Amino acid sequence: MSRVPLRRALADLPAYVPGARAPVGAAAFKISSNENPYPPLPSVVAAILDGAEDVNRYPDMFATELVGAIATTLDVAPESVVTGCGSVAVLGHVLTAVCEPGDEVVMAWRSFEAYPIAVTLAGARGVRVPVTPDGRHDLEAMAAAVTERTRVVLVCSPNNPTGPAVHADELTAFLEAVPRDVLVVLDEAYVEFVRDPQAPQGLAVFRDHPNVVLLRTFSKAYGLAGLRVGYAVARPRLAAGIRAASTPFGVSHVAQLAALASLRAQDELLARVERIVGERGRLLDGLRGQGWTVPDSQANFVWLPLGDHATAFAERCSRAGVIVRPFAGDGVRVSVGEPEATDLLLEVAAESDPR
């Protein structure tokens, strides 16, 4: 019996592992997916309800009003903004727009789990450069990994799942070393949580370097993970190519209205971000006070480099009523959630062996 063949690349495609959920009927805090613990603001809920009345219609394919609002907020040209179903989908469009089969994409590792998937689906080959022992991008080594086949370099800052942000001076040196025809994607999904004074200003980097594209999202700080809204900021010519590679009608009308309402409520939402940053500090202080070695985090999560003990620690957390995200053989990522979740996590950590 003959079968329709699948792409050979799919045989080696790594599976994306989502953060675990609590079993049906069980009570547990879910801090496995870097979600914002706060529900949408009433004004955002109202926008979602308004949009629900029009779901029989296709959305604005180019998200014109949302693109304009983002452009105004960031002080960039609307032609430089491209929206999509979360920044991970936008990354896929970026890679599709610039990569030919066999091109190389350099990335830190461990970094965002979806990177190897997106790279493979674009027909490119991922080149992984190990992060430093404290979870930071080794930008000097990443620059050295660039070859004549390199088309894109992915820089996740703050890095998911380890937490640190790159520093402005090292990023400047990196960009000076990378050829101008190599695209550098600065993934800033967690930029609103950054408080490191040495971290770069992504928009300034974008303005100074034509080969830099920014990725941002409404999933984290803005709390719209379930509606899937992200965007890229790129030079108009690059943005046009990304837009051409995008899924038509990708961002729903409801999602567009919710993102617009979130931008209008930015002050309220960023006040919530401050509370999350404060809770992050309490979590870091608590773990370090127990003797844990924890990398700096500039995101809404912390990283425990537990190596082969990662899965066992996650199982202990689950039994205690708090669900975290293990990366087998590497470590555990703990999202910053409700204060009660922090309390539970620290109780489990206090009874475990700091490594």
The pLDDT assigned to 183 comes to: 98
The one-letter amino acid at 293:
T
Residues 49 and 100 in one domain: yes
The pLDDT assigned to 232 comes to: 98
Tell me the average confidence (pLDDT) per consecutive run of 10 residues in the chain, 355 residues long.
82 79 70 96 97 96 98 98 97 98 97 97 97 97 98 98 98 98 98 98 98 98 97 98 96 98 96 98 97 97 96 96 96 97 97 75
Which residues touch 27 (CB under 8 Å, ≥6 apart)? 321
CATH number at residue 136: 3.40.640.10
Which residues touch 344 (CB under 8 Å, ≥6 apart)? 29, 317, 320, 321, 322
The pLDDT assigned to 340 comes to: 97
Residues 16 and 47 in one domain: no
Q: Could you give the CA distance from residue 139 to residue 117 in angstroms, rounded to a whole number?
A: 22
The pLDDT assigned to 1 comes to: 65
The pLDDT assigned to 2 comes to: 73
Distance of CA 217 to the CA centre of its chain: 8
The pLDDT assigned to 23 comes to: 65
Q: Please check whether residue 300 is in contact with residue 280, taking contact to mean a CB–CB distance below 8 angstroms.
A: yes
Q: Could you give the CA distance from residue 159 to residue 111 in angstroms, rounded to a whole number?
A: 6
Distance of CA 241 to the CA centre of its chain: 22
Residues 71 and 55 in one domain: yes
Which residues touch 125 (CB under 8 Å, ≥6 apart)? 102, 103, 104, 105, 119, 149
SS3 110: coil
* Domain count along the chain: 2
Q: Please check whether residue 303 is in contact with residue 280, taking contact to mean a CB–CB distance below 8 angstroms.
A: no
Q: Could you give the CA distance from residue 182 to residue 146 in angstroms, rounded to a whole number?
A: 9
Q: What is the CA radius of gyration of the chain?
A: 20
The pLDDT assigned to 85 comes to: 97
Residues 46 and 36 in one domain: no
The pLDDT assigned to 18 comes to: 78
Residues 205 and 282 in one domain: no
Residues 182 and 208 in one domain: yes
The one-letter amino acid at 342:
T
Assessment of whether the complete model's pTM goes beyond 0.75: yes
Domain assignment present for 113: yes
CATH number at residue 332: 3.90.1150.10
Residues 259 and 283 in one domain: no
- What are the backbone angles phi and psi of residue 138, rounded to the nearest 5°? -95, 85
Domain, as residue range, for 298: 8-40+267-350
**Maximum alpha-carbon separation in the chain:** 63
Cα 294-300-303 angle, rounded to 5 deg: 25
Residues 143 and 251 in one domain: yes
Residues 292 and 309 in one domain: yes
Residues 107 and 228 in one domain: yes
